[in-house]
């Protein structure tokens, strides 16, 4: 507490004069308390004390020297029966539990494992935003300061770096005991040491999509997620990396337990056709084949036909350098292709050797830059 705040806190007549002023202004009590704190300081008077004097003055009792020592002790939330506290906190969402109660109720609050449907974290060069279900929080860089906006406060200015202040509010949520989410989305367009160890290990989520600016940025985030529990992984770059970075990052990704135990994977980067064998354990996958090497489509079909647990997959091929890739695929798979400029889709059925199952191919020539192959295993 600085010297000016200490002086104000001990000048009771001055504080009560400020409260009386708010009453005479006919402000609602919550607005009045915010105005009072803005004028004299955030830590000068607790809300229950402000509330007592506000309503006393409101009802015409203007005695500044009233002695409260004879009054019965006011009831607090800690006087509520524990069984009722559990019921109250159980009806709050995880964010409300975190911001609405102080440490005296931490044991009760933590008894409810916090579960989110979605957590979205976005970091740009000048802002940080996180969304917890339908509640949005933003910390905006203002040069030498920042502005934090929450569902309860539209904008509070702090003389701190925006990532530091934002993480002061987000990190306690991410480290709540037993926290889990169905979907985690990360959109990171800034590299910063402040984002190191963003998540506790292990962090519990069923699916994740990660957008980053450098290929290796994926791994600190991905490695914190609990393998096996993590079913869906989507990796999508903001920009195209050079081919060496892509290949190195892919090989590192293929060796992670998160990939090896996943069920669904989407990669928005070039994958070599021989690396398709890495996807054999997946139920579903979506990727872009590396068009810079000659693609052997019968070989691709053969590889995918051996994937026992496959449900479906989606392959994209960039038409750069081969505008006729659509017909090239059809001819390679020995599919009859009628002539005509309007033909954009062909289908193909492939019987899996020594099996009653088959692969259904739908090959589409998209209007601009891609040709897509959708494959469904029919049992």
Express each pLDDT in 166-181 by its tens digit: 999 899 888 887 888 9
Beta strands in 217-272 (DSSP E): 232-235, 264-271
- Token look-up 């209007």 returns 367
Q: Which domain holds residue 40?
A: 3-59
- DSSP three-state, residue 259: helix
On whether residue 280 sits in a domain, the answer given is: no
Do 143 and 256 sit in the same domain of this protein?
A: yes
pLDDT value for 14? 87
C-beta atoms surrounding 245 within 10 Å: 15
Closest to 372 measured CA to CA, from 268, 288, 298: 288
On whether residue 279 sits in a domain, the answer given is: no
Do 205 and 138 sit in the same domain of this protein?
A: yes
pLDDT value for 310? 96
> What values do phi and psi take at 127, rounded to 5?
-160, 160
On whether residue 282 sits in a domain, the answer given is: no
Do 97 and 135 sit in the same domain of this protein?
A: no
Do 149 and 102 sit in the same domain of this protein?
A: no
Asked if residues 163 and 130 have their Cβ atoms less than 8 Å apart, the reply is no
How far is the C-alpha of 22 from the C-alpha of 25, rounded, in Å? 5
pLDDT value for 103? 43
State how beta strands 284-289 and 264-271 pair. parallel
H helices of 25-81, where?
29-40, 47-58
On whether residue 362 sits in a domain, the answer given is: yes
On whether residue 271 sits in a domain, the answer given is: no
User: Which residue(s) pair with 233 in the sheet?
Assistant: 208, 265
pLDDT value for 1? 45
pLDDT value for 245? 76
What distance lies between CA 247 and its chain's CA centroid?
A: 27
Do 165 and 192 sit in the same domain of this protein?
A: yes
CA angle (254, 255, 256) in 5-degree steps: 95
Give every residue of the chain whose pLDDT is below 50, as ranges. Answer: 1, 101-105, 108-109
How far is the C-alpha of 123 from the C-alpha of 129, rounded, in Å? 6
On whether residue 72 sits in a domain, the answer given is: no
Sign of the Cα torsion 64, 70, 72, 78 reads positive
Do 163 and 204 sit in the same domain of this protein?
A: yes
pLDDT value for 72? 73
How far is the C-alpha of 179 from the C-alpha of 204, rounded, in Å? 7
- DSSP three-state, residue 99: helix
CA angle (338, 339, 345) in 5-degree steps: 60
Q: Is the pTM of this model over 0.75?
A: no
On whether residue 65 sits in a domain, the answer given is: no
Q: Which residues contact 141 (CB under 8 A, 6 or more apart)?
A: 125, 126, 127, 161, 162
Domain count, the chain: 4
Do 331 and 234 sit in the same domain of this protein?
A: no
On whether residue 223 sits in a domain, the answer given is: yes
> What values do phi and psi take at 281, rounded to 5?
-85, -5
Burial class of residue 377 in the structure, from the number of CB atoms within 10 Å of its CB (0-12 exposed, 13-18 middle, 19+ buried): buried
Closest to 289 measured CA to CA, from 23, 297, 47, 25: 297
């Amino acid at each position: 507490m600085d010297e000016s705040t200490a002086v104000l806190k001990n000048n009771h007549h001055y504080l009560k004069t400020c409260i009386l002023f708010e009453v005479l202004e006919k402000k609602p009590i919550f607005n009045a308390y915010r105005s009072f704190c803005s004028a004299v300081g955030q830590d000068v008077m607790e809300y229950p004390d402000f509330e007592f004097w506000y309503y006393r003055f409101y009802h015409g009792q203007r005695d500044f020297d009233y002695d409260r020592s004879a009054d019965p002790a006011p009831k607090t939330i800690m006087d509520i029966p524990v069984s009722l506290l559990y019921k109250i906190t159980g009806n709050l969402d995880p964010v409300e539990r975190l911001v609405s109660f102080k440490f005296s109720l931490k044991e009760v609050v933590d008894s409810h494992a916090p579960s989110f449907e979605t957590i979205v974290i976005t970091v740009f060069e000048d802002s940080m935003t996180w969304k917890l279900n339908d509640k949005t929080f933003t910390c905006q860089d203002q040069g030498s300061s920042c502005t934090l906006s929450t569902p309860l406060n539209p904008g509070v200015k702090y003389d701190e770096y925006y990532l530091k202040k934002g993480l002061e509010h987000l990190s306690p949520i991410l480290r709540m005991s037993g926290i889990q989410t169905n979907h985690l989305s990360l959109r990171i367009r800034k590299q910063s040491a402040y984002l190191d160890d963003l998540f506790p290990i292990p962090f519990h989520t069923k699916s994740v999509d990660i957008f980053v600016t450098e290929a290796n940025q994926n791994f600190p985030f991905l490695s914190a997620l609990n393998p096996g529990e993590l079913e869906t992984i989507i990796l999508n770059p903001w920009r195209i990396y050079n081919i060496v970075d892509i290949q190195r990052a892919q090989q590192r990704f293929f060796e992670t337990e998160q990939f090896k135990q996943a069920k669904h994977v989407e990669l928005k980067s070039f994958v070599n056709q021989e690396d398709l064998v890495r996807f054999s354990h997946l139920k579903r996958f979506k990727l872009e084949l590396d068009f810079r090497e000659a693609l052997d489509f019968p070989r691709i079909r053969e590889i995918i036909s051996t994937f026992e647990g496959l449900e479906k997959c989606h392959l994209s091929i960039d038409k750069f350098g081969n505008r006729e890739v659509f017909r090239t695929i059809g001819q390679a798979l020995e599919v009859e292709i009628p002539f005509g400029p309007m033909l954009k889709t062909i289908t193909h059925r492939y019987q899996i050797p020594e099996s009653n199952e088959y692969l259904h191919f739908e090959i589409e020539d998209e209007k601009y830059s891609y040709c897509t192959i959708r494959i469904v295993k029919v049992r």
